[in-house]
Amino acid sequence: MEKPHRRLIVWQKSVELTTEIYRLTQKFPISEQYGLVSQMRRAATSIPCNIAEGAARGKKEYLQFLRVAIGSVSELDTQLEIARRLAYLPVEEHQAIDEKLAEINRMLLALRQSIAR
């Protein structure tokens, strides 16, 4: 079975980011297990999942799934900022993740624009 999403660099990078989010959130306080940790993991996972599902659909649906992925990027960005402010995430780690997230966002916007044409 062909899996077109696997060829997309943005999908590959978002899977890497998701695994990194899982590793980072393992260090968060146990009291956040069902709060911020769960939300961050779901938002991160939503990005590659929506890219993959959209890639398997028609143009109109693909664009909608990319919009959802872009929304998940914004959601994760907010959660990362909260984690930084609560000192769950060191400034350096936040900055590194933020750069990766910004790159994924740019790639998603470019992909959406490319498909819309």
**Domains parsed from the chain with CATH numbers:** 4-116 (1.20.1440.60)
Amino acid letter for position 33: Q
What is the spatial distance between Cα 21 and Cα 44, in angstroms, rounded to a whole number? Answer: 7
**Which of residues 63 and 1 earns the better pLDDT score?**
63
Tens of pLDDT, residue by residue over 6-36, are 999 999 999 999 999 999 999 999 999 999 9
pLDDT score of 4 more than 90: no
Return the percent helix, strand and coil in the chain, to nearest 5: 85, 0, 15
**In 43-73, which positions are buried (b, 16+ CB within 10 angstroms) versus exposed (e)?**
bbbbbbbbbbbbbeeeeeebbebbeebbebb
Q: Can you list the positions of beta strands (E) in the chain?
A: none
What is the spatial distance between Cα 65 and Cα 86, in angstroms, rounded to a whole number? Answer: 31
**Which of residues 91 and 2 earns the better pLDDT score?**
91
Helices vs strands, H then E, count in the chain = 4, 0
pLDDT at 70: 98
pLDDT score of 61 more than 80: yes
pLDDT at 67: 98
pLDDT score of 2 more than 80: no
pLDDT score of 1 more than 80: no
Tens of pLDDT, residue by residue over 79-106, are 999 999 999 999 999 999 999 999 999 9
